[in-house]
Amino acid sequence: MQERRVQILDAAAALIAERGFTSTSVDDVIRGAKLSGKSHFYHYFKSKEELGYEVLNRQFERFAERGLAILREPMIDPLERLSLFIDGVVALQAESGGRRGSPFGNLAAELADAHEGFRVRIEAVFERWASQIGSLLWEARPMLQDDVDAVRLSRFIIATLEGAVLMTRVKRDLTVLEGIAADLKRFIAMHVRDAEQTERRPW
């Protein structure tokens, strides 16, 4: 039973990534998941919207396991963790040659104005992401300048990465993301105390 549910979610995620949510129909998902009919789909999901919400949640949980986990690694210096996280975003996009894009950014661009249910859930995804980075920056506060606002900086980091991923997908050129990631690291470094006060600077 659970295996069939995952099969549907995987098929839906692939179709939404390729076509967008609006252009993906329940029939498309049924064909993609190789279901025998609509009754199988509606046994697991009450509606296309419910399926979309679960796809979004599942993608964030996967992102949390693979990407955000490094932000919580206690054995690594917090600013080095942030550097590794940025590298991880670049590596994830490199797997698709820069054509994958961000599932969160893609859905936000498509549905934030048209579908309140998705807008609320996508907002929650970005806030959870910002909270993770904000917690890391709070942990790193002895290494940062006194005027650093962890909340604002965490949102700036997310906005920069999301924009870079979008530009990379449009241009189909991974060097765009690589360059912006390097610039982002330099920007963060500008908020770090000088070398005499902080010797563990990772970049």
Q: What are the sequence ranges of the domains in the chain?
A: 67-189
Place of tokens 């252009």: 23
User: Across-strand partners of 192?
Assistant: 144
- Specify the CATH number for 67-189; select among 3.10.150.10, 1.10.357.10, 3.40.50.300, 2.140.10.10: 1.10.357.10
Place of tokens 């009919």: 37
Q: Taking 80 as the threshold, does the pLDDT of residue 41 lie above it?
A: yes
How crowded is residue 203: how many other Cβ atoms within 10 Å of its Cβ?
A: 14
Higher pLDDT, 56 or 102: 56
Q: What is the pLDDT of residues 50-69, one digit of tens each?
A: 988 888 888 888 777 777 88
Q: Cα–Cα–Cα angle for 173, 32, 35, nearest 5°?
A: 165
Confidence of residue 199 (pLDDT cuts 50, 70, 90): low
Structure tokens at 147: 């005027």
